[in-house]
């Protein structure tokens, strides 16, 4: 089960404090599921806070997985804090479970929303920050859309899908394995009813493994276009033209569902927020190249939006 989970999802305690010329870093425990890193700028007494939510898979606070280290979310956090914004980024609960060898087989998509709301409320209940913004990357965009609906002052989507997850997966299957399109759609039809099935192509085992089906079914209940329409706060949608996983068309779908939102399409930026000048090979390699700098435009766009 743990292997399938990893394949598919491609009380405060400050325990360590460090400081450099630009910011102070604190390790923060929110609850038994969530802990992360809070960066505070040295030059602002009551800064705005950006809560950063990671994307799909067992992704840690820095944006990394076991065999992929790009530090995208760490670079994002440091870049924003160097521009006088406080940031908090945290490990997804599955990261801690994997480290302890105890993955919860009954985990649902809603658990990630619960965690994001817990983080939001923890910091909102303090008087340390001016305003609180939620920034969700990839799958974290949808998580953040729901968590931002109460008590947040703004929302930022970073490479977030505009379609429901079953529609996204069906598009990918149609493009890469069209022979499975009909069977995959039949499987999703069952999952939409909240049921499980063993009638699916074995080649799609990593997606439709029966133990994963409740998670997918729960995830399918959340439509990004519906959730973004519930927001009564400023919204910024960011996507790159070199994103291999979430195309800029997905950003446009979100923007159309929320016409008052701001949208920023960054030329040559990919899914891990770095600039790609070459083709697919360079793009794919960048997922495991932590030395690559973040696209400066993504930092600029967020800072200007919050200003």
Ranges of beta strands (E only) in 103-153 are 132-137
Q: pLDDT value at position 9?
A: 41
* CA of residue 302 relative to chain centroid, distance: 16
pLDDT band at 66 (very low <50, low <70, confident <90, very high): confident
Q: pLDDT value at position 155?
A: 98
Maximum distance among all Cα pairs of the chain, rounded to whole angstroms: 59
- Encoding tokens for residue 60? 């840690």
In sequence order, which residues have a C-beta less than 8 Å from that of residue 152 and are 6 or more positions away? 120, 124, 132, 133, 134, 233
Q: Running DSSP on this structure, what letter comes out for residue 293? A: P
Residue 16 pLDDT > 80: no
Residues 228 and 258 sit within 8 Å (Cβ to Cβ) = yes
Domains of the chain: residue spans and CATH: 2-163+224-302 (3.40.50.1820), 165-221 (no CATH)
d(CA 183, CA 146): 31
Q: pLDDT value at position 21?
A: 63
Rounded alpha-carbon distances, angstroms, from residue 189 to 114, 170, 182, 194, 229: 26, 12, 11, 9, 25
d(CA 204, CA 123): 41
Q: pLDDT value at position 22?
A: 80
């Amino acid at each position: 089960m743990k292997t399938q989970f990893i394949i598919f999802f491609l009380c405060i305690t400050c325990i360590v404090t460090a400081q450099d010329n630009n910011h102070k870093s604190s390790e923060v425990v929110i609850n038994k599921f969530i802990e992360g890193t809070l960066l505070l700028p040295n030059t602002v007494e009551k800064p705005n806070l950006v809560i950063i939510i990671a994307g799909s898979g067992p992704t840690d606070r820095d944006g990394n997985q076991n065999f992929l280290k790009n530090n995208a979310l760490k670079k994002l956090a440091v870049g924003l804090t160097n521009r006088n914004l406080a940031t908090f980024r945290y490990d997804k609960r599955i990261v801690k479970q994997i480290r302890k060898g105890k993955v919860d087989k009954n985990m649902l998509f809603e658990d990630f929303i619960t965690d994001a709301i817990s983080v939001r409320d923890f910091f909102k209940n303090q008087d340390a920050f001016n305003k609180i913004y939620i920034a969700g990357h990839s799958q974290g965009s949808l998580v953040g859309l729901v968590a931002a609906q109460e008590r947040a002052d703004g929302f930022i989507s970073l490479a977030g899908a505009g379609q429901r997850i079953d529609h996204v997966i069906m598009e990918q299957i149609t493009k890469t394995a069209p022979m499975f399109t009909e069977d995959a759609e039949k499987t999703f039809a069952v999952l939409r009813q909240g049921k499980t099935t063993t009638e699916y192509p074995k080649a799609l085992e990593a997606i439709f493994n029966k133990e994963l089906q409740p998670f997918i079914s729960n995830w399918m209940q959340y439509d990004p276009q519906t959730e973004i329409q519930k927001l009564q706060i400023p919204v910024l949608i960011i996507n790159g033209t070199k994103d291999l996983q979430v195309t800029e068309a997905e950003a446009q779908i979100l923007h159309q569902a929320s016409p008052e939102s701001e949208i920023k399409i960054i030329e040559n930026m990919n899914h891990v927020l770095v600039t790609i000048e070459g083709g697919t090979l360079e793009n794919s390699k960048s997922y495991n190249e932590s030395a690559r700098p973040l696209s400066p435009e993504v930092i600029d766009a967020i800072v200007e939006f919050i200003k």
